[in-house]
Amino acid sequence: MAEIIQRDGTWTFDGDALRLVPGRDKNVGVLRKSLGELAVPLGALAGVSFEQGKRTGRLRLRLRDGADPLLHATGGRLTDASDPYQLTVDSDRYGVAEYFVDEIRNALLLDGVPTAAVDRYLLPGPAVPLSVSAGDGTASFDGEQVRLEWNWKTEEAKSAVGARTLALADIEGVEWQPSVGLENGHLRFTVRGAPTKAPPKYDANAVELWGFKKDPLMALVAAAVQARLPHPSTPAPAPSQLALTEVDHDALLRRLRELGDLRSSGVLTEEEFTLAKQAILRGM
């Protein structure tokens, strides 16, 4: 077992997984503290590195593409303070950090872990239910639906719509963007059948973020929803296939109605009708 304990947090490696526990130092971001302990399986890692500085160094984990819904939802836009896969190391612990890196690299080599992207999430994402208030609203997620509620700072054009409840089945995508400079950030949900080009300030399916302390927590909501959406590697059905499915479904329904008419007119016996109906239902 390898372990490194710092003010920034504690990382432990047992040969099969890494246990990442955030520290209580003031430099540890609110997202890391709220996310809590993480268990990262060895198979989710693409690599590890250690960068030395004059006073402090930094351990960095590199995960395989598609392994973590948090990294997918945030798209590499987390700050160092918010990134759970970084650890600040004091100069007197450089030897321990280098040993830690060697242990992980040896395990990756011995297990033959590939660095290629994965086709399913290897980490579960943030626990639910969770609720975050930041910017112009509150976003809550219970694992089945997202609830968006507005505050007194919300633009009237958006608050007039009222609170929004979005079923997970209706959500096609989620996007989290931090505020940068004079540009505000947002948490936006793409809803099936309701495309929009409205800025987050006016979009009833988005929370606008202004760069305050709790803004990064909206990334947890994004990651929790992302973890329950189809994995990004899942191919989308071709439009022609969707259309064919709908046509076939309608045709089967019409056939059922026709069979009902034939039974009512006496052309089919009850037994013949039942057998034919069962065959159609199996097709549906």
SS3 sequence of 229-250 = CCCCCCCCCCHHHHHHHHHHHH
The pLDDT value given to residue 181: 86
CA separation for the pair 262, 276 (Å, rounded):
11
pTM: 0.80
Residue type, 137: G
- From the CA atom positions of the chain, what is the Rg in Å? 25
Compute the 3-state secondary structure of the chain and give helix, strand, coil in percent, each to the nearest 5.
35, 30, 40
Do 224 and 141 contact (CB within 8 A), yes or no?
A: yes
Give the contacts of 207 (CB within 8 A, at least 6 positions apart).
134, 135, 136, 137, 138, 139, 148, 186, 187, 188, 200, 218
Question: For the chain, first and last CA: distance in Å?
Answer: 54
pLDDT at 196: 79
Fill in the DSSP letter of residue 65.
Answer: T
Residue 244's pLDDT is what? 46
- Report yes or no: 51 and 62 within 8 Å, Cβ to Cβ: no
Distance CA 33, CA 29 (A): 6
Q: Which residues pair with 60 in a beta bridge?
A: 49, 86
> What's residue 168's pLDDT?
96
pLDDT at res. 44: 97
Cα 153 from chain centre: 27
User: How do beta strands 9-13 and 17-22 pair?
Assistant: antiparallel
The pLDDT assigned to 183 comes to 92
pLDDT in tens, the chain (284 residues): 899 999 999 999 999 999 999 999 888 999 999 999 999 999 999 999 999 999 999 999 999 999 999 999 999 999 999 999 999 999 999 999 999 999 999 999 999 999 999 999 999 999 999 999 999 999 999 999 999 999 999 999 899 989 999 999 999 999 999 999 889 999 999 998 887 788 999 999 999 999 999 999 999 999 999 999 999 988 866 655 545 444 455 666 667 776 676 667 665 677 767 776 766 665 55
Residues 6+ apart with CB under 8 A from 60: 48, 49, 50, 51, 85, 86
Average of per-residue pLDDT values in the chain:
89
Spatial CB neighbours of 175, under 8 Å, sequence gap ≥ 6: 73, 186, 187, 188, 189, 190, 222
9-13: strand order across its sheet: 2-6, 9-13, 17-22, 38-41
Which residue in 78, 68, 8, 73 sits closest to 39, CA to CA? 68
pLDDT at res. 246: 46
Provide the H-helix boundaries in the chain: 30-35, 69-74, 94-111, 156-159, 218-226, 239-264, 270-283
